[in-house]
Structure formats: structure tokens, C-alpha cells
Amino acid sequence: MYRLAGIIDWTALESHFGQYYSEKGRRGISTRLMVGLTYLEHAFGFSDEEVVARWVENPYWQYFCGEEYFQHELPIDPSSLSRWRKRIGEEGAEVVLTATVQAGLASKAVRESSFERINVDTTVQQKAVAYPTDAKLYNHAREILVRLCQETGVQLRQTYERIGPKAVLMAGRYFHARQTKRGKRQVKKLKTILGRVYRDVERKIAAIPSAREIFGENLGLVARLLNQERHDKNKLYSLWAPEVECISKGKSHRKYEFGVKVSVATTNRDNFVVGMQAIHGNPFDGHTLGQALAQVERVTCQKPERCYVDRGYRGNGVEDVEVFISGRKRGLTPTISKELGRRSAIEPIIGHMKEDGKLDRNYLKGTLGDKINAILCGSGHNLRIILRKLREFLPIFARFLLAAINLILGQRENCFAESASGY
């Protein structure tokens, strides 16, 4: 961590993020502290609260974030990290990723020539939402409308506070026992109840203009929920996160995942992340390749020459970069054939970002939260590679230090032996 602190270009980061702060009023929090905490959070897979609490206990983390003396108090409130992410946005998160790429070059964890050949693949970044079922969604929507009515003083004809939870419970039991008709009857009952509450709210707030603003977004979501059918597209799967999409990647153990598709770009040789972006709308993989290559060029300041992808990228339409699809046998030189064989190396990288980082489950809100979390997960992966590179010389240094200590101790024992014999 001490060596990594000297490799990252903090001056460039401070000059870039300085535009987000005003010179008037109270002095802002140090940019190095905010960026350093963000790096530590995604490098070790901690939450905002955990990284701030551990920062107090670790002197190496404090030095990495710019402190000169050991601190005994929390540096910031954890909520400051959330506000800072919203302030920098997707563009700022990309700058943070670019800084890790520059640090990788400085530490020799990645070579500049590696940016010419990249691997690209897509995965799913799941949202931190409950598994969506019709019964839970209908009851949750009813609870939201009832709570808003209680806050605004709107008197409903009936709230169904006892009937709703009981119907959800019975629907789960019937479906678990494979009594599908009874389970569907309970779901239909919940939908009818929600429709009654929705229409009652519509009638009651028609004469209250101020209440229309409070109920506006939630009423739109409830109407969307009531109107959607089983085979519709762009369905609503979560009232807390309406941007969630249902994505099927053909996995045998997990047929459907609820989140957003993320494009990942890594170097073919060094497994270094040079591009991460969340793409909403569940597009075809081939249609995301152009955006991924453009981001790689922005992050590395170098246009890739060859790109290696899987068979899901057929018909990508990219012409200015050579694209090689896995399974191709003809027209390959020995070098390209070897590099194409390393295309699958991107799969364990995605696995590490999900297990060691925070790509598996995103807790940040909205589409902006999806984009920022994806990019910062790539930054965390790069930092883990750089730290591993910096640790390579630690055993060698320890071996030389141990030999020097043994030599000194051996010479001292000889001196004692000579003194004893002379006496």
C-alpha cells in the first residue's frame, strides 16, 4: 500500500475533480481521501460503512489516503461517499479507472503494447432486489399507496392491511405444494385488491393538486404494473428499482438474472481491465462492441488493433478494428491463434470481480448507480493486480534481510567465542 500510494497520480486526480468543488463556503473534503476510500472499497469488496470503519484501524490505508499522522476518528460520514459518487458521475468514475491503468503502467503490471489486443465479453450485474413474483409486487405496490395516503391524510375506503399479507402467504404455500390453480387464484385476488386501492386513490386526489405531485411517480409505476401481461417486454420487476431488466445468459444453475448487462474489456496478455460500462435495454452483444472499443480508446489513449470475442458477437458491424470470434479456424496466424485461445481468460476475471469485488450485487440506486458501480469494479480489479505485482519482490527482500541478520549474528558469535578463548 505504501508503494502503491507513490505510483498513483494524485495530482492529476485532484486537478480534475477540483472543478466539482466551489471556492466559497466550508472547505471540501480532500479529493485524495475520497478517491482513496473508493479504491479501497472496491479493491477489497467492502461497503461504505465497512471501509470507513477499517480505515481507522489501518495505518497503511491512512497513508494511502494522504494522512501523515495516525488518526483515531472516522475520516468522513459514510453517506459522503454516496454523495461524492453522484457528484462525479459516470465520467468521473471513468477518470478513476484511467488512473489505475496509468498506475499499472508505472508498476509494470501491464505493458503499453498490451493495449493493442483486448478481449471483450458481457455479463450481468445483478441489482440488490428481491426475487420478483407477481404476488409480492402487487402487495408491495398496495402498501406503498396506503403509506402515502397515511402521510398525506387521504382517507381510503379500505386498506386491505390484513387480507394482502395473508394472500401473499397463501400464494407462496400453494405454489410450493404445486397447487397452481389455487396459487393463481390468490395472485388474481391481490391484483384485484391493488386495482381497487389504485382507483380509490385516483378519485380521492383528483381534487387535491398538491397530492398529485406526491403520488405521481408511484401511481405511474402501479398503473404500469397493473397493465403488464406475462409475455410483455420492458416489464416492471421492482418498484424500488424500475430500471431492473430480466436477462437470460443461458446458465444452467441460474436461468434468469435481474439487473443490467455490463460490457467488460480486458487486455489479452495481462488480464488488465481497460473498459467497463453498464448498458441498459438488454441489447444484443454485438451491438455493444462499438461502445466498448470507444471506451477502451478513451481510457488507454490508444486504439486497439485486434479484438477477441465469443460467438455472441456475430454481426457486430465493427470495421476499423479486427474482430476475431472464438471457434474460427481459417486465416489465422500462429500468433493470432494463440491470442484467440486466451479469449476465455476474461471469464475468470469476471468471476473474480463478482467474488472479490462488488460486481455480483449492486446496491447503488438508479441507472447512474449501475454505471458507476460497474466502472469502479474494474478499478478495484486493477488495484488487486497492481498490489500482487508489488508483492512479488517482498519474499526476495525478506530472504536477503534474513541472510543479513544471520550473517551479523554469526559474526557476533565468533567474536564472543574468540573473547572467551583469549580469557
Query: pLDDT of 307-322, one tens digit each?
Result: 999 998 998 888 889 9
| Residue 360 DSSP symbol | S
Please give the average per-residue pLDDT across 57-68, as a whole number. Answer: 94
Closest CA to 379 of 85, 3, 54, 77: 85
Of the candidate ranges 74-88, 277-291, 393-407, 408-422, the one whose mean pLDDT is the lowest = 408-422
Instruction: Round to whole Å and give the CA distance between 385 and 110.
Output: 9
Please give the average per-residue pLDDT across 337-346, as a whole number. Answer: 93
> How confident is the model at residue 421, as a pLDDT?
57
DSSP 7-62: HS-HHHHHHHHGGGS-SSSSPPPPHHHHHHHHHHHHHHT--HHHHHHHHHH-HHHH
| 228 phi-psi bin (left φ>0, alpha ψ -120 to 50, beta other) | beta
Instruction: Give the H/E segment covering residue 274.
Output: strand 273-279
- Residue identified by cell 481521501 is 33
| Residue 301 DSSP symbol | S
Q: Is 316 helix (H, G, I), strand (E, B) or coil?
A: coil
Query: Helix (H) and strand (E) counts for the chain?
Result: 15, 7
pLDDT at residue 234 is higher than 80: yes
Instruction: Round to whole Å and give the CA distance between 121 and 242.
Output: 25
Average pLDDT over all residues of the chain: 90
Instruction: Round to whole Å and give the CA distance between 389 and 381.
Output: 13
CA angle 245, 247, 251 (to 5 degrees): 155
> How confident is the model at residue 416, as a pLDDT?
47
Give 236-292 pLDDT, tens digit per residue: 999 999 999 999 888 888 889 999 999 999 999 999 999 999 999 999 999 999 999
Instruction: Give the H/E segment covering residue 279.
Output: strand 273-279
Please give the average per-residue pLDDT across 364-374, as a whole number. Answer: 94
Q: Is 179 helix (H, G, I), strand (E, B) or coil?
A: coil
pLDDT at residue 118 is higher than 70: yes
**Burial readout 280-307 (b: 16 or more C-beta within 10 A, e: otherwise):** eeeeebbebbeebbebbbebbeeebebb
> How confident is the model at residue 77, as a pLDDT?
94
Q: What type of residue sits at position 70?
A: F
Closest CA to 288 of 255, 260, 252: 260
Instruction: Round to whole Å and give the CA distance between 56 and 379.
Output: 23
Instruction: Give the H/E segment covering residue 264.
Output: strand 257-267
Q: Which residues contact 383 (CB under 8 A, 6 or more apart)?
A: 4, 39, 42, 43, 100, 103
346, with CB counted inside 10 A (0-12, 13-18, 19+), is buried
pTM score, whole prediction: 0.88
**Where does the pLDDT of residue 19 fall: very low under 50, low under 70, confident under 90, or very high at 90 and above?**
confident
275 beta partners? 265
- The Cβ-side half-sphere exposure at 211, using a 13 Å CA radius, reads 17
Closest CA to 97 of 316, 272, 257, 250: 272
pLDDT at residue 126 is higher than 70: yes
How many other C-beta atoms can be found within 10 angstroms of the C-beta atom of residue 379?
Answer: 26
Q: Which residues contact 276 (CB under 8 A, 6 or more apart)?
A: 97, 262, 263, 264, 265, 295, 374, 375, 377, 378
- Residue identified by cell 495481462 is 270
**Where does the pLDDT of residue 388 fall: very low under 50, low under 70, confident under 90, or very high at 90 and above?**
very high
Instruction: Round to whole Å and give the CA distance between 374 and 281.
Output: 16
- Return the CA Rg of the chain: 28
Pairing label, strands 117-127, 257-267: antiparallel
